[in-house]
Amino acid sequence: MTLAESRDPKRRDPHLLTQLALTAWELEQEAVSPDNVRHRAATLRAHSRLQAEVEAVSEVVPDQRSQIRVAGAADEGVLLIHGSTGNPSDLSGLADHLYQSGYHIHNMLLPGHGTGDEGLPSIKWKSCYNEVLLRYRILAKTCRRVHVVGFSFGAALAMILTREEQPATLSLLSPALIPKVSFWARLMIGLRLHRLPMFRKKVGWNLEVFAAMEKAKGQAGKLKQPVYAAHCQDDDRIDAASLRHMQKKSRNKASRFRLYPVGGHMILKAHGADSLHNEVLLFLRSGARQRS
């Protein structure tokens, strides 16, 4: 089969997905020492090939697909989770920076995303969460420590993840805890009227995102690991009060918070290259030392 044929979903080997899935499963089941760097890397590469094939068959837009990158002898990994209307490309700059700094990277694609369509996907937030949990556990089997970076809705999912797993650190960028909506929308939310069909369009938000926000907000005071959170004061989607809520509820003394005056919602686009990429990297390194 030529390279061009392999990229055509209609001409792909129907047995390839099964073969890749079995390879990944068999590598995971092998009883080997956790110090076997080659085995851990081979396992992650198998998952990378499997995920790439699944997304190709599913016709995910090429530049919106997951990015799984194996950093040689690294023993730490980073799971990156994008927002409700985004895709892995929103975090690709940060992912590249962390990969080049010696971390395995899984910049994951949430279910229902990567179609190239504008607007909010209709997928349930729990389906997104279950995918996050799966991807985290894959990394946890191949890395001594796993750090989680979440942007917006992805930050909310990262916080909810701590109910079942304990990442080494959490980096939360524009964390979606408190939506920026009008007084009337806040009133409808407070009275639970936003769930009624006649009011949904007036709120202007996907109710699945609201549900995840509510779960994450309640988890803020239960986080045990160091947290790095950053937000922009002029974010037009998520209120900067989300950052203040995190600060107020923080339990770990190693947590760090930063509020930028400007930058909007797309905080990595505004501040990634000049400051945020390196700040997240330094935070991961300091957080890993504290837990070692």
Q: Report the pLDDT averaged over residues 221-228.
A: 96
The whole-number pLDDT of residue 39 equals: 76
Does 31 have pLDDT greater than 50?
no
For residue 145, pLDDT over 50 is answered with yes
CB 228 within 8 A of CB 288: no
What pLDDT, on the 0 to 100 scale, is given for residue 3?
39
- What's the whole-number mean pLDDT along residues 110-126? 77
pTM for the whole structure: 0.86
In percent, the amount of the chain with pLDDT more than 90 equals 57
Is 127 a residue whose pLDDT tops 60? Answer: yes
Q: What is the CATH number of domain 62-291?
A: 3.40.50.1820
Report whether pLDDT(120) > 90.
Answer: no
Range name among 52-61, 84-93, 127-136, 154-163 with the lowest pLDDT average: 52-61
Cα distances (Å, whole numbers) of residue 129 to 109, 214, 228: 12, 14, 21
Task: Please state the rounded mean pLDDT for residues 276-283.
Answer: 98
Summarize pLDDT for 244-253 with one digit per residue, the tens.
999 999 999 9
172-206 pLDDT, tens digit each: 999 999 988 766 666 666 666 556 555 555 554 56
